[in-house]
Amino acid sequence: MGKYFGTDGVRGPVGERPMTVNFAVRLASAAGRVMVPEGGSVVVGKDPRISGYMFESALEAGFVAAGVNVKLLQVMPTPGIAYLTRVLGADLGVVISASHNLYMDNGIKFFDRKGSKLSDEDQSRIEELVDEQPITRESKKLGRAERRYDAVDRYMTFCKQSVSESMSLSGMRIVIDGSNGATYKIAPKVFSDLGADIVTIGCSPNGTNINDGFGSTSPQALQSTVTALGADLGIAFDGDGDRLSLVDSKGQLIDGDQIVYALAMARKQKGELKGPVVGTIMSNLGLEQAMQREGIEFLRANVGDRHVLSTLAEKGGVIGGETSGHIITLDKTSTGDGIIAALQMLEAIVDSGKTVEQLVSGMARLPQKMINVRMESRVDISDNKIINKAVLATEAELGDRGRVVLRPSGTEPVVRVMVEGNSESEVLQHAEALAEVVAKAT
């Protein structure tokens, strides 16, 4: 993590640095100078949280003053902004969203002209300038701003083109949970256009209810709705639409590791799987074991979908993702996309004639427990001797039966303590003990 950039852009409580109007203007000025050539352009989109409109105006001012042309896309899922950055020929894509966080937070993240997350080097170059005063060019060199009203239709067409033209979801009842976020209008329309009978929940954003009791981080409402209606499948997106969770017909939750497994197997059966499958250090050991049984190379990247993406690109892979539901299908799009990942799963269901339960049945998830230990601020635990000693002791006791991962969050002031193993009770015991050590040692 950098001075301001975390795992995925800049994020924090609205009204506290860095999520202030003044900082947003400075960030736009810096990013414009670093990433956009003279006469170039950026696209800016947002989720529906109330502060997004304020930050949109601040970013617009900072970019225009720096001589950058701005295309405003209104409410749009993060992956849609990545796509439109490419097809509109922009030099930079900007997303105003705090993803799965509640409305009190917001964030700003970027895509390069290829629709990929910025490199660490690019982020560092922006951070070098962000504390300087924003520049204002003379009138003839100012940028221009315009609103693009065709953005939603172009992105929906792109999503539907990611599956076979002949694929039909006719006869399937699907419950869509839009998390009262950026997918609230687009996702139901995409799946309905493909023939599905759609029921929606969490698709009535009011600026303050994003991720509140709905979405991929709160799937309980989706689970109960799927079982109550006898639906075939439930799909929950997070606030900005770059990740998802699925719920099968019995109301059981299907996470990102299981989705990665199912997509990898579908690609393998079609002869379309290239390179390794990529997860993260937090991916369930059961996914790695399942890939090994199938003779598929499995690699672990650092947490963050941009690290998964860079590893896939470097190693020539096409399928990867995180347990949280950031799923990347590089043969379909340039970044993690919840709608496209869901469409790929539905295509696998239609092609195979199997239920989603059957598609993921070949992967056995090992018991895994993660505890978030809240801190007053972000901390570096790598050199803490007390914590390191406790981790080594736990790893020695687990042996080859499990794993331990301690990781400061890149999006909030918590340390994530994860223990994985064969025994649920043993995993819980070790996770609680380590969490207590971390809490006392920091």
Which residues belong to the active site? Answer: 99
Q: Measured in whole angstroms, how far is the alpha carbon of residue 75 from the centre of its chain?
A: 17
> What is the identity of the amino acid at 259?
I
Question: Helix count (H) and strand count (E) of the chain?
Answer: 14, 18
Dihedrals phi, psi of 96, to nearest 5 degrees:
-105, 100
> What residue has token string 């170039």?
40
> What is the identity of the amino acid at 278?
V
Token pair, residue 142, equals 């100012």
Question: What distance in Å separates the CA atoms of residue 166 and residue 183, rounded to the nearest whole number?
Answer: 24
Token pair, residue 154, equals 């172009």
Strand partners of residue 298: 277
Buried b / exposed e over 6-28, threshold 16 CB at 10 Å, is bbbbbbbebeeebbbbebbbbbb
Strand partners of residue 111: 93, 117
> What residue has token string 């978030």?
372
Strand partners of residue 175: 199, 234
Question: What distance in Å separates the CA atoms of residue 436 and residue 386, rounded to the nearest whole number?
Answer: 12
Question: What distance in Å separates the CA atoms of residue 333 and residue 327, rounded to the nearest whole number?
Answer: 11
Question: What distance in Å separates the CA atoms of residue 243 and residue 236, rounded to the nearest whole number?
Answer: 8
In the three-class reduction of DSSP (H, G, I as helix; E, B as strand; rest coil), residue 221 is classed as helix
For residue 83, give the nearest of 164, 151, 183, 181 by alpha carbon. 151
